[in-house]
Structure 1
Amino acid sequence: MSGSFQWWWKGSRQMIIAIAGGLLGMSLASGQVLASATATEAVVQQGAYLARAGNCMGCHTTRGGKPYAGGRRLNTPFGEFVTPNITPDNETGIGQWSADDFWQAMHHGQSRDGRYLYPAFPYTEYTKVTREDADAIFAYLRSLTPVRQTNLPHRIRSPYDNQLLLFLWRVWYFKEGVYEADLSKSEEWNRGAYLVQGLGHCDACHTARNVWGASQDDKLTGGEIMGHYWYAPSLIAPQEAGVGDWPIETIVELLSTGITSDAVTTGPMATIVRQSLQHLSPEDMRAMAVYLQSIGKPDPARKTRRIPDMPEGVRQYLARGELVYEKYCQDCHGESGQGAPGIYPPLAGNRSVTMKSPLNTIRSVLYGGYPPSTAGNPRPYGMPPYQHIIRDAEIAQVVSYIRNAWGNFGSLVSPLDVDQSRGNEF
């Protein structure tokens, strides 16, 4: 009997150990799966943040369309580009893409089939994005609900629709490579540089382009946004949008809310603030401000700059503009162009009014507009359009007056300038 009991206990103990081991293995495996799922979710959330920082949805969503399903038309001197569907639909999106395929597009500027992509997709800047961040963005895009949407093909004019010509363009103008940290600078500065130069692709708008659509050698020095009829000011020159002598807190305020006591974002930049920048973490926002402050040049001659005497003909032209200003603008912007803090921007001493290109000021008068609606400025005050009220000659006169009143000094604007500023809205 004793021997039988020992035999039974030995077998039972082995069975119990086996079952316990199995349960423990299942528990460990479940824990590993849970940890893996948590890690994957963390990567997806990081990818969502990075996609927001790069404003991917801004281009890959047409007005009134499904997010990331593409279809937005981008007009350029080379033809019309249509943004692709980047939801994980197998037939019309990137459902069959791998992380390597996505990296090839972001870093090398080539599609899944090896075809060269046109730089309307800013891979010239995205090439600086790290593989880790690119993989996180891809993981986020893969987590989206697939949208079956076939978009129209590009309509590129000849000879720009030639892949050989695009290959030569890349040889001349495209330099691939992940952002390399400047070891002489702080970690915060490098983070800001990475965001501005890479994921934020600020250079895509704030740099002039040559006849082939390539960015000039001098980066962030300002340029007209191709096909949009807006001017993206220099982020270096103090006469435009350089912030070399601004406090960090003021730069952060402008980037996150779209408005400060002395400045306001309009047009495409207002859209960027609303859709992208306001959602950045305080640390990333400050890092961008630190970098932008470092590249901005101070303006020591600002207070001592002498305005030359005006010929009588110019005085008379500006006097006619003053009458238009008094009738349509003075109630909001003030008798002396002082504006109303936090409500209507000042025009006196406003660099966006006096910078070399009058394009943005003209378009603001023509079409009106609002600063972005942000968490820091949820109910912005706007400006109505005047194109249906004021003739082009009067718009030219009032813009000329604003650019040369109250200590401002800018070039005169003609009715032809007003007419040529019309085009597609952002």
Structure 2
Amino acid sequence: MKTPVKVAWTLALALALGALAVWWSVPRNSAQSAPRSPDAPATATQIARGAYLARLGNCALCHTATGGQPYAGGKGISTPFGTVYSSNLTPDPNAGLGRWSADDFWQALHHGQSKDGRLLYPAFPYTSYTHVTREDADALWAYLQSLPTAANANTPHTLGWPYRTQAALWVWRTLYFTPADTVVPAAASVAPEMARGAYLVQGLAHCSECHGARNAWGSVEPRKSLAGATLPGELWYAPSLTSAEEASVSGWSREDTAALLTAGINRHAVVNGPMAEVVRHSTQYLLPDDAVAMATYLASLGPMPASTPTAPAAAPSSSLMSTVGARIYDKQCSQCHGKQGEGKAGAYPALASNRAVQMANTNNLVLTVLHGGFAPATAQNPQPHGMPPFMLTLSDTDIASVLTFVRSSWGNAAAPVSEFDINKIRNVQPR
């Protein structure tokens, strides 16, 4: 039997077994479901706590369509396997969660299963939310039940075969998902602040969903859960939080890291791209103690040791490129970023010795020059400075020249950027 045939038969058998397992595990009708006692009335304190946790989980960003009612669902989430549409989380009895209980909601968060037992797609990050405690899940539930109802019917997902089947989901979950154990109190040797930070980063904040490297089947690799990755279906790169060459904060003070999470800017960096949305909609609302706890845990990750010695950066392709780049920089960039790339504190980031400028992956750098750089407006930084787009002003050659100049000046020592690097991104619209 030829290998492709063996693979086909193996896949078919796995899907068949998955279908059988799903059929066996899903309740056939409501009469077969165990009776549930009514949820206890929510308190104002619990609802307020749930509202805070919903902010931290950034729930509204995914569960609100553009121009739509908050939490009414319908926003498309692009994946390599098709588009998954977020569901209606309002308490509408037909379109939303009005017929659900707190137990049903816990099942979705912790086990990744709907009220009727259907397996949920991991675009809903239950692989992270499985770490959320029952107490926090109940607070979230109380808040969602307090929202105005919306009768928006859920939009069907548009996934190819076999990814749209419950059998394929069962196979994926068997390989890559295990619900978290019941939360165990932190060991005496672990400071409460560190334990709290780990809980927030790994759970509701679901940082690994963007910063985690994924395998071919879309699962975050456990040993690379914060090692950096290009976002699925996008060009933006979420840098490694464990690498000294990318975005490790082990060398920063906790106050600096907390400031970046809550204000979107500190003395070292300014957030941009998708992370600006995270700060604007979510982390700027962190309680001070939680912001410091997250900063403490992130600092503990430390820089990841390089697996191989870092090779010296290649020299600019030609002296002409360097000369052209220097001229463009002086005309277009120096007024904000400084003649020597020193930047302006509290406004424009320094480019000299800037890790974001020197990263091997240049996607974010190119996207920022093409489409502009915009920090989020936050309570601590309500009127952030922005960078205009240069897509219509500079050619691919111009951008390659100026970026190569910046990456090799003022102590920077990164490889040059080519016209091809610009061209492959120019005509793709970032989300």
Q: Which TM bucket (shorter chain)?
A: 0.7 to 0.9
CA contact (8 A) 1:258 1:374 kept: yes
Q: CA deviation at 1:95?
A: 1.1
Aligned residue number for residue 360 of structure 1 = 364
Match for 1:290: what amino acid?
A: T
Q: CA deviation at 1:307?
A: 9.4
C-alpha spacing 1:174/1:314, structure 2 compared with 1 (3 Å): farther
Q: CA deviation at 1:366?
A: 0.9
C-alpha spacing 1:416/1:407, structure 2 compared with 1 (3 Å): same
RMSD: 2.1
CA contact (8 A) 1:73 1:81 kept: yes
Secondary structure of the 2:317 match is: helix
Q: CA deviation at 1:369?
A: 2.8
Aligned residue number for residue 202 of structure 2 = 197
Aligned residue number for residue 214 of structure 2 = 209
C-alpha spacing 1:307/1:402, structure 2 compared with 1 (3 Å): farther
Structure 2: distance between partners of 1:276 and 1:309: 37
CA contact (8 A) 1:231 1:360 kept: yes
CA contact (8 A) 1:244 1:298 kept: no
Q: CA deviation at 1:272?
A: 0.8
Structure 2: distance between partners of 1:233 and 1:99: 36
Within a 5 Å distance, the mapping from 1:157-306 to structure 2 comes to: 157-178=160-181, 179-183=183-187, 184-217=189-222, 218-297=224-303
The answer to whether residue 387 in structure 2 is matched with residue 378 in structure 1 is: no
Aligned residue number for residue 137 of structure 2 = 134
C-alpha spacing 1:136/1:311, structure 2 compared with 1 (3 Å): closer
Secondary structure of the 2:399 match is: helix
Secondary structure of the 1:313 match is: coil
Match for 1:236: what amino acid?
A: T
Structure 2: distance between partners of 1:311 and 1:251: 33
CA contact (8 A) 1:248 1:286 kept: yes
Structure 2: distance between partners of 1:191 and 1:311: 45
Structure 2: distance between partners of 1:280 and 1:416: 41
CA contact (8 A) 1:245 1:298 kept: no
Match for 1:194: what amino acid?
A: Y
Aligned pair partner of 2:60 in 54, 57, 61 = 57
Match for 2:131: what amino acid?
A: K
CA contact (8 A) 2:397 2:419 kept: yes
Q: What's the TM-score once normalised by structure 2's chain length?
A: 0.85
Secondary structure of the 2:43 match is: helix
Aligned residue number for residue 103 of structure 2 = 100
Deviations for 1:228-284, whole angstroms, at most 9, x for unmatched residues?
Answer: 221101111111110111111111111110101221111111111111111111111
Match for 2:218: what amino acid?
A: G
Deviations for 1:63-115, whole angstroms, at most 9, x for unmatched residues?
Answer: 22111111111112111111111111112111111111111111111112211
Structure 1: distance between partners of 2:208 and 2:95: 30
Secondary structure of the 2:373 match is: coil
Secondary structure of the 1:80 match is: strand
Aligned residue number for residue 327 of structure 1 = 331
Match for 1:164: what amino acid?
A: A
Structure 2: distance between partners of 1:174 and 1:315: 53
Aligned residue number for residue 4 of structure 2 = none
Deviations for 1:155-203, whole angstroms, at most 9, x for unmatched residues?
Answer: 1122321221111111111121155454121111000000000010000
CA contact (8 A) 2:370 2:391 kept: yes
Deviations for 1:364-400, whole angstroms, at most 9, x for unmatched residues?
Answer: 1111131111111110000111112111222222222
Q: What's the TM-score once normalised by structure 1's chain length?
A: 0.86
C-alpha spacing 1:94/1:55, structure 2 compared with 1 (3 Å): same
C-alpha spacing 1:42/1:294, structure 2 compared with 1 (3 Å): same
Consecutive unaligned residues of structure 1, counting only runs of 5 or more, are 1-35, 300-304
Aligned pair partner of 1:396 in 385, 388, 400 = 400
Q: CA deviation at 1:129?
A: 0.4
Structure 2: distance between partners of 1:347 and 1:309: 17
Aligned residue number for residue 32 of structure 1 = none
Aligned residue number for residue 5 of structure 2 = none
Q: Number of residues paired by the alignment?
A: 386
Structure 2: distance between partners of 1:312 and 1:154: 47
The answer to whether residue 164 in structure 2 is matched with residue 154 in structure 1 is: no
Structure 1: distance between partners of 2:107 and 2:395: 51
Aligned residue number for residue 47 of structure 1 = 50
Q: CA deviation at 1:139?
A: 0.8
Q: Percent sequence identity over matched residues?
A: 48
Structure 1: distance between partners of 2:228 and 2:161: 28
Aligned residue number for residue 92 of structure 2 = 89
Secondary structure of the 1:81 match is: strand
